[in-house]
Amino acid sequence: MKKREPKKRYVLPGDFITTAPLRLHGNVVLEGKRIISTTIGLSDISDDSARVISLTGAYIPKIDDLVIGTITTVSGNSWFADINSCYQGMLLGQDVFGRGSYPTATEMRERLNKGDIIFAKIANFDRQREPLISIADKNLGRIDSGELTGISPTRIPRLIGKRGSMIQTIEASTNATLTVGQNGLVVVSCEETNGLLKALAAIRMVDEQAHLVDLTDRVKKMLESDGV
């Protein structure tokens, strides 16, 4: 741990990070000349920027994030989806049926009904309105099968890993397919029960031990062992 200290440190809100003139990258604030942390997490100073990798907190939508949502309302020309955030995702009918089309209520419900799980992209989000989501892209749309599970949204970068290493580890050793939303929801689909259980256990492990250093190795070890 000692040799990592100058770069990555555990910090709490109000903790001093550095006085160097760096770009503020996230979860930090400038007070005078001092950069201080605004959340519980790991401080990370790179060449030109300072940030804190948060260990807690809710999901706040960001443009181009991929999220998993549950349809909660079907209205005349739009759907509303619960995207595990304080804001509801709004999916417009024209995004699905094409511009200038006027789908009937039945057509709307046939395409996506209340309770359906969708994999969507945050198309637009500003301070004024609910985030606009879109399923008009390949790989996006309704998810028909799989096991929906959730972890803290702050753990998602760990679940994906460096260049997707963690996800690849889990998928390779369980034959499962993971659909990961930035909002903390994950759909696991797997033919074999054992693989499914193992994948779920691995996801739970990431959630609980996200702040530890050699997490990929630990998960690998767990997946290689027989018991779940």
Partner 1 sequence: MGGREANVVLLDENGIRSDGRKVNETRKVTIKAGVLKNANGSAYIEFGGNKILAGVFGPRDVHPKHMSNPDTGILRVRYHMEPFSVGERKKPAPSRREIEISKVIKEALEPAVMLENFPRTAVDVFLEVLQADGGTRCAALDAASVALADAGIPMRDIVCACAAGKAGDALILDVNNEEDQAGQADMPIGYMPNLGKITLLQLDGVLTPDEYKKCIELGLEGCKQVYEIQKNALREKYFSSSDNN
- Pick the closer one to partner 1 by CB: 141 or 150: 150
Cα–Cα separations (whole angstroms), residue 136 to 48, 91, 209, 228: 36, 10, 35, 38
The alpha helices in the chain, defined as continuous H runs, are 93-97, 105-111, 156-160, 165-174, 193-208, 215-224
At closest approach, how far in Å is the CB of 99 from partner 1? 28
Q: Which is nearer to partner 1, 107 or 214 (CB)?
A: 214
Distance CA 207, CA 113 (A): 31
Provide the binding-site residues for partner 1, judged by CB under 8 A.
1, 10, 12-16, 27, 29, 31, 36, 38-40, 54-58, 60, 86-87, 127-128, 154, 209, 211-214
**Burial tier of 202 (Cβ tally within 10 Å: 0-12, 13-18, 19+):** buried
State in angstroms the smallest separation of the CB of 35 from partner 1: 12
**Between 14 and 76, CB nearer to partner 1:** 14
To 5 degrees, how large is the angle CA 40–CA 42–CA 65?
A: 85
Residue 186 contacts residue 166 (beta carbons within 8 Å) = no
Q: At closest approach, how far in Å is the CB of 140 from partner 1?
A: 26
Q: Closer CB to partner 1, residue 21 or residue 57?
A: 57
Nearer Cβ to partner 1, position 72 or 175? 72
